[in-house]
Amino acid sequence: MPDGTQSPKRTIRSVAGLVAAGLIPAHGQAALNEVAKSYAIAITPAMQKLIASPSDPIGLQFIPDAAELITAPHESVDPIADEALSPVPGIVHRYPDRALLKPLLACPVYCRFCFRREQVGPDGGLLSDAQLTAAYAYIAAHPEIREVVLTGGDPLILSPRRLSGILAALSAIPHVELLRIHSRVPVADPALITDELAAALDVATPLFIALHANHAHEITPEAVAALTKLQRRGIPILGQTVLLAGVNDSEEALGDLFRAMLRARVKPYYLHQLDAAPGTARFHVPPARGRDILANLRGNISGTALPTYIYDRPGGLGKIPL
C-alpha cells in the first residue's frame, strides 16, 4: 500500500484500479490499457499489501508493463505446445503416465510472465459438465495414466463442491493412483483455503499440491496458515518457482524463498526456466546464471531446500533438467 494506512479490500482488475490504488501513475494508462486488452489483470488484496512499488519483486510479477506489447522473435503464443497435445478439451497428455486436466482457465492473480497468458483470463475456459465427463472418459480409457495433474488456471478457486466432484470422479478411475493440484491460491488468496475447501481435498487417493511462489515475501503468516490447513489433511506440498529477472535472480532471494518454503513445510520441487511466452522478455535470466545461483547455494543451504532447475522445451518436447 502506497500510504500504508489501510488494507486493500478488493482484487484490482483494471488499469484504472491500479491508478486508484496508487500503484501506477495516471499518465501511464494508455499503453497499459492496450496491454489489458490482451492480458488479464488481477491483483488480490493479499498481494497488493506486499507491493510498495511497481518495480519491487511482487509489483513486477503482477503490475502490467508496456513492454508486454513487444513480442520477441523467439516468443510464441503456445510456448510448450499444450494445444497440440490436447486430445479432448481440458486434457494435455504429453507424458504417458501423467495427464493434465485444466477444469478452468481463471486465476486469483494474473502473472505478467505466465506461459499460458494467451489462454488464461477471468472469463475463459470453464469446462462444462459434458466436457468434464469427456475428460474423465479419456483418462479412464488410458490405463497408462497413473497421475492426474489439475492445473489451469487455478483449480483452487473452484468451489469446494465442484472440486469434490472432480476429485471423486478421478478417484473412481482404478488406475489413477495419484492426484496433484498446481495452485497459487495459498499465497495469492489464502482466505480461499477454508476448512470446507480443505475437507473437499481430503480424498482417499494420495493428493499432492504444487504451490507456485516466487519470492519469500509471498510466504506470509496468512499463507503459512492456509498451507498448514492443507497439510493437516495429509496433503504434502511442493514448491514451484519461476526464475525471474528482478524478482528472484540472486542467491539471496532464492535462498530466502527456499528457506521460507521449508519453514512452511513446503519442499522446493522445480525452479523453472522462463518459458518464451509473448511479451515476457524483461523477465529472462540466462540459464548459465540460474545454474550459478543454484551451485552457489549448494553448501550454504540444506539439501532439502534445493529444487531441480528445469526447462520446458518449445514445441512440446518436454521438460529437461538444466
Ligand X SMILES: *Cc1c(COP(=O)(O)O)cnc(C)c1O
Residues that bind ligand SF4 (CB under 6 A): 107, 109-111, 114, 116, 120, 153-154, 184, 212
What is the per-residue DSSP string for 152-177? SS-GGGS-HHHHHHHHHHHHTSTT--
Asked if 92 is part of the footprint of ligand X (rule: CB under 6 A), the reply reads yes
CB of residue 47 vs ligand SF4: minimum separation in angstroms?
A: 11
Asked if 94 is part of the footprint of ligand X (rule: CB under 6 A), the reply reads yes
The region of 39-47, 90-98, 105-113, 138-146 touching ligand X under the rule CB under 6 A is 90-98
Contact 182, 210 (CB under 8 A): yes
CB of residue 32 vs ligand SF4: minimum separation in angstroms?
A: 17
Tell me which of ligand X, ligand SF4, none is bound by residue 258, counting a contact when its beta carbon lies within the kind-specific cut-off of 5 to 8 angstroms: none
82 versus 218: smaller Cβ distance to ligand X: 82
CB of residue 95 vs ligand X: minimum separation in angstroms?
A: 5
| Sign of the dihedral through C-alpha 16, 22, 23, 27 | positive
- Among 155, 159, 139, 166, which Cα is nearest to 212's? 155
107 versus 261: smaller Cβ distance to ligand SF4: 107
Residue from 40, 51, 100, 167 in contact with ligand X (CB under 6 A): 100
Residue from 13, 49, 98, 289 in contact with ligand X (CB under 6 A): 98
Is 184 known to be catalytic? Answer: no
Catalytic residue among 114, 154, 309, 311: 114
CB of residue 194 vs ligand X: minimum separation in angstroms?
A: 27
User: Rounded to an integer, what distance in angstroms lies between the CA atom of residue 290 and that of residue 271?
Assistant: 9
Tell me which of ligand SF4, ligand X, none is bound by residue 276, counting a contact when its beta carbon lies within the kind-specific cut-off of 5 to 8 angstroms: none
Tell me which of ligand X, ligand SF4, none is bound by residue 116, counting a contact when its beta carbon lies within the kind-specific cut-off of 5 to 8 angstroms: ligand SF4
Catalytic residue among 65, 82, 189, 312: 312
Q: Which residue type is seen at 39?
A: Y
Tell me which of ligand X, ligand SF4, none is bound by residue 212, counting a contact when its beta carbon lies within the kind-specific cut-off of 5 to 8 angstroms: ligand SF4
Is 114 known to be catalytic? Answer: yes
Number of residues near ligand X (by CB under 6 A): 7
Contact 91, 101 (CB under 8 A): yes
Asked if 150 is part of the footprint of ligand X (rule: CB under 6 A), the reply reads no
| Sign of the dihedral through C-alpha 271, 198, 49, 31 | positive
Q: Is 240 helix (H, G, I), strand (E, B) or coil?
A: strand
| Peptide linkage before 315 cis (omega within 30 of 0) | no
Is 37 known to be catalytic? Answer: no
User: Rounded to an integer, what distance in angstroms lies between the CA atom of residue 102 and that of residue 229?
Assistant: 24
- The 3-state DSSP composition of the chain as helix, strand, coil percent (nearest 5) reads 40, 15, 45
Residue-wise over 103-118: b if at least 16 C-beta within 10 A, else e? bbbbbbbbbbbbbbbb
Q: Are strands 308-313 and 318-321 parallel, antiparallel or unpaired?
A: antiparallel
Is 312 known to be catalytic? Answer: yes
Asked if 95 is part of the footprint of ligand X (rule: CB under 6 A), the reply reads yes
Catalytic residue among 13, 49, 56, 95: 95
Count Cα atoms within 13 angstroms, Cβ side, for 119.
24
Active site residues: 94-95, 98, 107, 111, 114, 116, 275, 312, 319
Q: Which residues bind ligand X (CB under 6 A)?
A: 92, 94-95, 98, 100, 149, 319
